[in-house]
Structure 1
């Protein structure tokens, strides 16, 4: 009987302890709005007492004018002695708080941030557990320039992917950048030589990129501190690894295989589509932008122009007749343009002047035309003007005769 009641007694004891700790956690929920500023402190200042405060932002309805909106929560804390939890509701934050608080891996691979980008259209909550004084500030950016920059960069990457995949300079830049970022793998490779077991070595190498991503995340979170304190080391690291990467890229040369170029092109296009999709929290509008870009790029132009051609065929535009003055001006303008093109062709190496001169009666007149003189002689101009006057006179006489005959008949 004692053996049966002892486990039950221990289970009841742990449940009571957990619930009592959670109740005394002093949990507060605060719903913030634009430009709201709160400052909190622990009035008791008892060692080990860390109250949990939950800050929530209630999302707004989705409208197309809010496609580039961003909501940022800033935490001003003098030290890093605090724990953070996030979730879609206060209940989720409290659940994560309990899971991490009573877990032996609560502080393993956990990163802290003092800037949170919240979803403007959904309810988002951030829980802060701290004993020290800190402040919280919520800011709503109506048009986030970073989101617009990601959209433009995504479009540029997608449209220029066929050109960049064949560009030698782009190949060198990518090779050097990859060498700088992947230098951690070289260190892991040399460390793996210390372990005799091959299976363990393969596991270490397989987890190499995971460690690289983790280290890069730590470096990004502490970039400002690293650049200010270890600027010389950072510069020498980039110079040495970049030089080695450039030498290796120069030794093997740029990519020549067409299939490899296709893989680079598809990777750039995928990167561009991801940038467009993540440029806005309005996922429906972002997906619509992605679909429009794909249609604009891959849909044949004849399919796009088919409705326009059908509309022109079904409803042809009405032609507006031109007047006599417009007809005369157009004739003079087009004639001068055609004569200028002919003069340029005759002066170009494509035209055999001697062969053309053999077919002409007046070679001197041809040479004068090429030098810029008129293509008509004075006699031809005078004859043309005389014929025009005669036609005008005949038309006026015929008009007067017709009018006189109509008067007699009346």
Structure 2
């Protein structure tokens, strides 16, 4: 019985080898939105390849923040994953990996949450002996993409301010020190190896192993943070403290050219964040071009249409009433006096030279301390002049009314 099973498996593999890049349509599944596909292995528990594809949809501006996530629900990690744009590409990759020696199977990365391009055809091949499920989830508005866009815009627009900010320099220095501490560890590890040409070749050829372990570290970061939480915290505190001491010793960046490089780097990071905030690359590039035009175009070019409109259709001026005129006068006078008081209190004003030119220095000092700029006599004289002017205006109005009445009677 075992011999019969072995013969059947050999025949199946030989048939697949003869087929080459041919794709069996029965093993290709085109998933729709929120569809769940459940796979059950056959009676011989053979590792079969099944291809799952998403056909995508047309590009419309309303789908600018759309995301498509393919979730692989597998009880273990005992499966092989193949990616491609079409089923033929997936089948070719599977055949190349099956019938030729390749390190791809050893160092291949697997993810159970795959983000697909919503506008292109994407295919995923799964080869497994166990039961598993495939769930296709379509998110119309991905909040993470909107957050990525907002962060990119803020980073681009505030690059000039952040490049001059001392606190930002310290935070970047501490973060860079924590991340760069791994380089110190690599430096001490490199001291162990003998300095020979052959050893440098071995180290250079082993980059695939380094990438593999880095990928494993990134995939198990959550597990490491929960298991070795105390060690991670103490490591961050120690390296962060050393980085802060070094940053405090050398101080923030003061060279204008270095500050410009920091500003340009922040702007570039912001544009990259805006570009990767959507799979709709044309719309993302449009946002970047619009952002660059608004930022770097001369202000007079941007306001030219507004100035032309005002010149072509000037707004109608509305005359002020007596009450509005009085309120505006009080408001502007109070504002001007406050600005004058702040200027006299600032280091830009030489109080001693100003005091030498004044007749009443005590009154000037009282004004700077917040008291009124008018004396009681001046206020009384002003109110008396208002009353006198009102009486004159009333008498003039009465005289004019008497003259008009006499003219009417004579007529």
Pairwise same-fold verdict (TM > 0.5): yes
1:185-334 equivalences under 5 Å are 185-186=186-187, 189-191=190-192, 193-197=193-197, 201=200, 204=203, 214-231=212-229, 234-235=232-233, 238=236, 255-331=253-329, 334=332
| Structure 2 CA distance for aligned equivalents of residues 328 and 268 of structure 1 | 50
1:99 to 77, 96, 105: 96
| Structure 2 CA distance for aligned equivalents of residues 337 and 255 of structure 1 | 39
Residue 56 (structure 2) aligns with? 59
Mapped pair 1:376 → 2:379:
yes
Q: Give the TM-score, by structure 1 length.
A: 0.77
Mapped pair 1:175 → 2:176:
yes
| Stretches of structure 2 lacking an aligned partner (at least 5 in a row) | 1-12, 363-370
The CA deviation string for residues 221-258 of structure 1, in whole angstroms up to 9 with x for no partner, is: 22233334444554565556556666666676655544
Residue 81 (structure 2) aligns with? 84
1:393 to 386, 392, 395: 395
Q: CA deviation at 1:276?
A: 0.9
Q: CA deviation at 1:214?
A: 4.7
CA distance change for structure 1 residues 321 and 180 in 2, over 3 Å: closer, same or farther? same
| Structure 2 CA distance for aligned equivalents of residues 333 and 259 of structure 1 | 45
Q: CA deviation at 1:171?
A: 4.1
| Structure 2 CA distance for aligned equivalents of residues 245 and 156 of structure 1 | 26
CA distance change for structure 1 residues 393 and 82 in 2, over 3 Å: closer, same or farther? same
CA distance change for structure 1 residues 358 and 225 in 2, over 3 Å: closer, same or farther? closer
| Structure 1 CA distance for aligned equivalents of residues 242 and 186 of structure 2 | 14
2:150 to 145, 149, 152: 152
SS of residue matched to 1:84: strand
| Structure 1 CA distance for aligned equivalents of residues 205 and 156 of structure 2 | 31
Residue 3 (structure 1) aligns with? none
Residue 9 (structure 1) aligns with? none
| Structure 1 CA distance for aligned equivalents of residues 204 and 94 of structure 2 | 34
Q: Number of aligned pairs?
A: 383
CA distance change for structure 1 residues 247 and 26 in 2, over 3 Å: closer, same or farther? farther
Q: Give the TM-score, by structure 2 length.
A: 0.77
| Structure 2 CA distance for aligned equivalents of residues 163 and 338 of structure 1 | 30
Residue 7 (structure 1) aligns with? none
1:75 to 72, 75, 90: 72
My pick for the range that moved more, 327-336 or 285-294, is 327-336
SS of residue matched to 2:53: strand
Is the contact between residue 25 and residue 52 of structure 1 (CA under 8 Å) also seen in structure 2? no
Residue 366 (structure 2) aligns with? none
| Structure 2 CA distance for aligned equivalents of residues 246 and 390 of structure 1 | 77
Mapped pair 1:33 → 2:36:
no
The CA deviation string for residues 267-302 of structure 1, in whole angstroms up to 9 with x for no partner, is: 222222111100111111111121122222222222
My pick for the range that moved more, 54-63 or 199-208, is 199-208
Is the contact between residue 22 and residue 88 of structure 2 (CA under 8 Å) also seen in structure 1? no
CA distance change for structure 1 residues 81 and 30 in 2, over 3 Å: closer, same or farther? same
My pick for the range that moved more, 276-285 or 311-320, is 311-320
CA distance change for structure 1 residues 174 and 398 in 2, over 3 Å: closer, same or farther? same
The CA deviation string for residues 38-92 of structure 1, in whole angstroms up to 9 with x for no partner, is: 221103143xx21111112221222222211111111111111111111222222
My pick for the range that moved more, 244-253 or 153-162, is 244-253
The CA deviation string for residues 111-166 of structure 1, in whole angstroms up to 9 with x for no partner, is: 11111001111221111111101111111122212112211222232233334445
1:136 to 131, 134, 137: 134
SS of residue matched to 1:316: coil
Is the contact between residue 188 and residue 205 of structure 1 (CA under 8 Å) also seen in structure 2? no
| Structure 2 CA distance for aligned equivalents of residues 242 and 333 of structure 1 | 53
